[in-house]
């Protein structure tokens, strides 16, 4: 981790901002949330069960539907989601040693047995094929689509390069192809807009890809955060039954997410919450 800090510093805020592109960037207030030791449970083998994931019905004219959170029928369920961001033009940075993955976070989610939805870019899957394969074959997880390029799908979006409208559906299909190429099996037809930026035109252009767009109601605030307690506090203060939380799975620009999850998960469970995947939240 430390060896990459100088690189990030050199790259400057503008370039680095292209990595996470505001997938929930805020300035959380500092907090005094106290970390507690997670239960150490051995990860048991989990069977792969094929089940068709639920989707939201398209709007008029096949317009891409948008899912933001579960209904109250979900009960005390909450979905933690992690955006595995890597932009199409960040290959050189990865080659220089910058890490857009976060294996320790994935290992922690396994250790704590937290069902999670990973919104992965196709470029990320190409850079980390072994990890994408492992994630995509572990029933604890499901891989959802975060575009291939992580470019902006709608106008000015945190400085991301703009994707032309006619390239929107092909870009999303290219990400699904990247997941297939690494042998990922637990792939769901959900899509998260880079930066969460979208408009009616983007929803129309996305319609041929036949996905359900997934936003969130709770911003984790882990992008560029340096205080895990503050991230944990922000999440814990905002979660309500049926919440959908956006966090990140990329060390490059979300270095404290693992520590934050270590605080968030035991506290949510203490409050009686079940942690579920987006597909489970959508099912209710
Ligand atoms: Zn993103």
pLDDT at 16 over 50: no
Helices (H), 87-206: 91-95, 103-111, 122-127, 129-135, 168-181, 200-206
- Give the right CATH number for 63-283 from 1.10.645.10, 3.30.70.920, 3.20.20.370, 3.40.50.300: 3.20.20.370
Task: Give me ligand 1 centre to Cα 188, in Å.
Answer: 17
pLDDT at 15 over 60: no
Which comes out higher in pLDDT, residue 72 or 213?
213
- What is the per-residue pLDDT for 13? 38
Task: Give me ligand 1 centre to Cα 275, in Å.
Answer: 22
pLDDT (tens digit, 9 = 90+) per residue, 40-99? 444 455 555 557 899 999 998 889 999 999 998 888 999 999 999 999 899 999 999 999
Task: Give me ligand 1 centre to Cα 44, in Å.
Answer: 31
pTM of this structure: 0.84
Task: Give me ligand 1 centre to Cα 133, in Å.
Answer: 20
Task: Give me ligand 1 centre to Cα 40, in Å.
Answer: 30
pLDDT (mean) for 15-34: 42
Task: Give me ligand 1 centre to Cα 181, in Å.
Answer: 21
Rounded distance between C-alpha atoms, residue 252 and residue 92, angstroms: 14
Percentage of residues in the chain having pLDDT higher than 70: 82
pLDDT (mean) for 153-164: 94
pLDDT (mean) for 191-218: 97
**Residue 276 CB: number of other CB atoms within 10 A?**
24
Task: Give me ligand 1 centre to Cα 87, in Å.
Answer: 9
Task: Give me ligand 1 centre to Cα 282, in Å.
Answer: 21
pLDDT (tens digit, 9 = 90+) per residue, 220-275? 999 999 999 999 999 999 999 999 999 999 999 999 999 999 999 999 999 999 99
Task: Give me ligand 1 centre to Cα 84, in Å.
Answer: 7
pLDDT band at 14 (very low <50, low <70, confident <90, very high): very low
DSSP state of 102: -
Task: Give me ligand 1 centre to Cα 39, in Å.
Answer: 30
pLDDT (mean) for 161-167: 95
pLDDT at 35 over 90: no
- What is the per-residue pLDDT for 230? 97
Task: Give me ligand 1 centre to Cα 192, in Å.
Answer: 8
* Mean pLDDT score across all residues of the chain: 86
DSSP 255-281: TTHHHHHHHHHHHHHHTTPEEE-HHHH
Task: Give me ligand 1 centre to Cα 189, in Å.
Answer: 17
Task: Give me ligand 1 centre to Cα 248, in Å.
Answer: 8
Task: Give me ligand 1 centre to Cα 169, in Å.
Answer: 17
Task: Give me ligand 1 centre to Cα 155, in Å.
Answer: 15
Task: Give me ligand 1 centre to Cα 265, in Å.
Answer: 22
Q: How far is CA 226 from CA 34, 230, 231, 237, in A?
A: 16, 9, 9, 18
C-alpha dihedral, 51 to 56 to 62 to 64, nearest 10°: -100
**Per this entry, what is the length of the chain?**
284
Rounded distance between C-alpha atoms, residue 187 and residue 170, angstroms: 17
Percentage of residues in the chain having pLDDT higher than 90: 77
């Amino acid at each position: 981790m430390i060896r990459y800090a100088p690189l990030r510093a050199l790259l400057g805020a503008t370039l680095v901002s292209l990595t996470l592109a505001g997938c929930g960037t805020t300035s959380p207030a500092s907090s005094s949330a106290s970390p507690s030791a997670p239960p150490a449970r051995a990860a048991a083998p989990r069977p792969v069960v094929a089940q068709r994931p639920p989707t939201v019905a398209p709007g008029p004219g096949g317009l891409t539907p948008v899912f933001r959170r579960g209904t109250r029928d979900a009960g005390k369920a909450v979905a933690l989601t992690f955006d595995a961001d890597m932009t199409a033009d960040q290959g050189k940075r990865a080659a220089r040693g910058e890490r857009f993955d976060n294996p320790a976070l994935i290992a922690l989610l396994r250790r704590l047995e937290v069902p999670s939805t990973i919104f992965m870019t196709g470029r990320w899957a190409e850079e980390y094929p072994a990890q994408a394969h492992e994630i995509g074959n572990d029933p604890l997880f499901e891989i959802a689509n975060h575009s291939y390029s992580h470019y902006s799908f709608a106008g000015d979006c945190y400085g991301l390069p703009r994707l032309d409208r006619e390239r929107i559906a092909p870009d999303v299909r290219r990400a699904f192809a990247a997941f297939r190429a690494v042998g990922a099996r637990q792939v769901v037809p959900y899509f998260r807009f880079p930066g969460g930026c979208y408009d009616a035109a983007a929803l129309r252009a996305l319609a041929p890809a036949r996905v359900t767009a997934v936003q969130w109601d709770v911003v984790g605030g882990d992008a560029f955060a340096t205080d895990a307690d503050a991230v944990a506090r922000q999440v814990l203060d905002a979660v309500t039954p049926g919440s959908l939380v956006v966090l990140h799975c990329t060390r490059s620009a979300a270095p404290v997410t693992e520590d934050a999850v270590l605080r968030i998960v035991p506290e949510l469970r203490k409050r009686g919450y079940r942690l579920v995947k987006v597909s489970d939240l959508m099912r209710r």
